[in-house]
Chains A and B, each alone.
Chain A
Amino acid sequence: MSARWLARKLAAAALTLVFVLAFNFFLFRVMGDPLNQLARLPRATPEEIERLRAAYGLDQSLLGQFADYAKDMLTLDMGVSQVTREPVWNEILTALPWTLLLVGTGTLIATLLGSWLGVIAATRRGRRTDDSLLSFSLFTYAAPEYWIGILLILLFAVAVPILPAGQQMTPGVEFSGPIPQALDVAEHLILPATTMTLMMLGQYFLIMRSSMVDVLTEDFVTVKRATGLPWPRVVRRHAVPNALLPLVTLSAISFGAVLGGAVTIETIFSWPGLGDLSYEAVQAKDFPVLQGTFFVFSVGVVLANLLADVLYFVLDPRVQDA
């Protein structure tokens, strides 16, 4: 039964990926005029343009172009950066770990902190702790994340210069080993990761809080208490695990927004991830890179949703029988 469910989810994800591929193709090929890129070449003669058209495959039918595109993508041939002349895939591969580090750290802390605060607020509903936590999370939810990042820079890198204001490592320094280097990266990670966490914290807190409030009204919570369990244990062992389930779904659905935040946050901190890469590509009108990063972002969203489905399946026995 579970194997069938998994197969179905994988098939759906694969279908979505095909759709992503088509979407990406139409977005750039149909909406953007590829000849834009060709026009960058100064004084290209008509014959040269025709040759480039053929080289790019632009003289083929749309379907033919899409087939070419799909084939290229499957072999990870995303073209070459217009700026650096490096293969797009290489640039993406270099940038990917940094984004994973940033997004991963931010998500981890936001989930832990958000759930913990959400539980506290739900069990102290209506009181001052709850109100102040609500106000705080609403504020971070509404505030633009890049603004928060700049404020953090102002506070902790300029006014009280204890943390670096950008980049992932101190430039020009030779590290004596992997551990000092890792520590340097960690130091540079603090502000960007804090910004990322604050961006996500509000939503996670609100969802956990409302989820806990719902779960606490369920009969089984009273039953557990009736069997003689102390209230803290009822909350911890029975209410919280049930309340965490919507959080899994939420993190999947909001992953798209998280990636958007990665773009702006990496930009302000010069964090060399995919977001920063996109930003540079936007500034330089480097369309191959832009298309590549957008594709990776889309794939990321599909994978995140798949991962959340699997996680939910593992955590909720009711899904296993669906």
Chain B
Amino acid sequence: MSPLLEVTELTVRHGAEAIVDGISFTLEAGEALGLAGESGCGKSTTALALLKLLPEGLAQSGAIALRRDGEEPVNVDRRTEAGMQRVRWRHISLVFQGAMNALDPVQRIERQLIDAIVLHEPVGRAAAAARAAELLELVGLAARLGRRYPHQLSGGQRQRVMIALALACRPAVVIADEPTTALDVVMQAQILQLLERLREELGLALILISHDLAVLAETCDRIAVMQAGRIVECGPVADVFTAPQHPYTQRLLATLPVIGSTRGGLSQSQSQEEAR
């Protein structure tokens, strides 16, 4: 059976420099793939490239094929901008990094959900409003929060709204770019649990991007490690964690705290572990 998402030789160039340098990976239906690496290695750029949302000045090439059960295969790379408007959110959606400013400040929450729903589904606004309320409850928020404006919600609540938004049009693939960064530890755990539950309930395929390996270890089935625009290692989570092949992966894993030992070089996850 062909994979749900197949990315072949994806490259993103800024002039002569390659931010993403010919990466290839697959994603099966219902699978959670982790994309790990330090900041600046091209993870977020990859996410944007999958939706063809790169800013001007960046050129992307490489095949991105989406094969959804019961639907025509979608070749993202060959779609025009107009064509992409039918692909975005309906097949692939993105939970943005840092939900601080990811929502229109002058629109109510439910309005933003409804706008996304009616864009892709042939329903009236009333039906869309009902669905919006459902979505909010799905991510653990009270439906009445839909009447609020973004600035009236906490960071954790806004992140949940972003997830609700990402699910609005029942996509096959959801990309979550650093969904737990800028959240406190308790929030982090809740959001990860939420993503896991949604994945099970809705049968989503998830690409989880994070610099925090601990986060990925908990939620993902497979993990791909990126360094300087390339994927240096890719495999099942257990394998990568217990027997890393690439030296870079080994170095990354070395920064994770191990019970009973003291290590130098605190990473974010390590300091949070100490704080617990």
Which residues of A pack against B, CB within 8 Å?
A: 218-220, 222-231, 238, 241-242, 315-318, 321
Picked from B51, B87, B104, the residue with its CB within 8 Å of the CB of A224 is B104
A317 contacts B104, C-beta separation under 8 Å: no
Number of interface residues of B (CB under 8 A): 32
Q: Kindly list chain A residues whose C-beta atoms are within 8 Å of the C-beta of B165.
A: 223, 227
Question: Is there a chain A Cβ closer than 8 Å to B248's Cβ?
Answer: no
Question: Is there a chain A Cβ closer than 8 Å to B98's Cβ?
Answer: yes
B86 contacts A318, C-beta separation under 8 Å: no
A241 contacts B115, C-beta separation under 8 Å: no
Interface core residue of A226, A229, A241, A321 (most chain B CB under 10 Å): A226
A219-B100, A227-B115, A318-B149 known; 8 new pairs, CB 8 Å cut-off, are: A219-B102, A220-B102, A220-B104, A223-B102, A227-B119, A227-B168, A229-B85, A315-B106
Question: Is there a chain A Cβ closer than 8 Å to B266's Cβ?
Answer: no
B103 contacts A223, C-beta separation under 8 Å: yes
Cα A219 to Cα B102 in complex, Å, equals 5
Question: Is there a chain A Cβ closer than 8 Å to B116's Cβ?
Answer: yes
Picked from A224, A227, A229, A241, the residue with its CB within 8 Å of the CB of B106 is A241
B82 contacts A230, C-beta separation under 8 Å: yes
Picked from B81, B87, B94, B149, the residue with its CB within 8 Å of the CB of A317 is B149
With contacts A317-B151, A318-B149, A321-B151 taken as known, whether A226 is within 8 angstroms of B94 at the C-beta atoms is yes
Question: Is there a chain A Cβ closer than 8 Å to B3's Cβ?
Answer: no
Q: Write the chain B residue with the least CB distance to A225.
A: B53
Some 10 contacts from A to B, beta carbons below 8 A apart, are A218-B101, A219-B100, A223-B165, A227-B116, A228-B87, A228-B89, A238-B104, A316-B105, A318-B105, A321-B151
With contacts A223-B96, A224-B104, A317-B106 taken as known, whether A230 is within 8 angstroms of B151 at the C-beta atoms is no
Question: Is there a chain A Cβ closer than 8 Å to B222's Cβ?
Answer: no
Which residues of B pack against A, CB within 8 Å?
A: 51, 53, 81-82, 84-90, 93-94, 96, 98, 100-107, 115-116, 119-120, 149, 151-152, 165, 168
Q: Kindly list chain A residues whose C-beta atoms are within 8 Å of the C-beta of B84.
A: 228
A220 contacts B115, C-beta separation under 8 Å: no
B53 contacts A220, C-beta separation under 8 Å: no
* Main DSSP-derived SS at the A contact region: helix
Q: Write the chain A residue with the least CB distance to B149.
A: A317
A-B CB contacts (within 8 Å), total count: 70
B85 contacts A228, C-beta separation under 8 Å: yes
Cα A317 to Cα B120 in complex, Å, equals 28
B105 contacts A321, C-beta separation under 8 Å: no
Return B167 CB to nearest CB of chain A, in Å: 12
Q: Write the chain A residue with the least CB distance to B120.
A: A228
A226 contacts B53, C-beta separation under 8 Å: yes
Return B251 CB to nearest CB of chain A, in Å: 31
Return B50 CB to nearest CB of chain A, in Å: 10
B53 contacts A228, C-beta separation under 8 Å: no
B106 contacts A219, C-beta separation under 8 Å: no
Cα A229 to Cα B120 in complex, Å, equals 10
Interface core residue of B100, B105, B116, B119 (most chain A CB under 10 Å): B105
Cα A313 to Cα B101 in complex, Å, equals 20
Q: Write the chain A residue with the least CB distance to B117.
A: A227
Q: Kindly list chain B residues whose C-beta atoms are within 8 Å of the C-beta of A230.
A: 82, 85
Cα A189 to Cα B22 in complex, Å, equals 64
Return A283 CB to nearest CB of chain B, in Å: 49
Q: Kindly list chain B residues whose C-beta atoms are within 8 Å of the C-beta of A225.
A: 53, 88
A321 contacts B119, C-beta separation under 8 Å: no
Q: Write the chain B residue with the least CB distance to A317.
A: B149
B90 contacts A220, C-beta separation under 8 Å: no
Q: Kindly list chain A residues whose C-beta atoms are within 8 Å of the C-beta of B106.
A: 241-242, 315-317
Q: Write the chain B residue with the least CB distance to A239.
A: B104
Across the A-B interface, give the 3 residue pairs with the lowest CB-CB distance, nearest first: A228-B88, A317-B149, A219-B102
Return A223 CB to nearest CB of chain B, in Å: 5
Q: Kindly list chain B residues whose C-beta atoms are within 8 Å of the C-beta of A224.
A: 104
A317 contacts B105, C-beta separation under 8 Å: yes
Q: Kindly list chain A residues whose C-beta atoms are within 8 Å of the C-beta of B149.
A: 317-318
Cα A224 to Cα B86 in complex, Å, equals 13
Q: Kindly list chain A residues whose C-beta atoms are within 8 Å of the C-beta of B168.
A: 227
Cα A230 to Cα B119 in complex, Å, equals 10
Q: Kindly list chain B residues whose C-beta atoms are within 8 Å of the C-beta of A218.
A: 101
Return B202 CB to nearest CB of chain A, in Å: 18
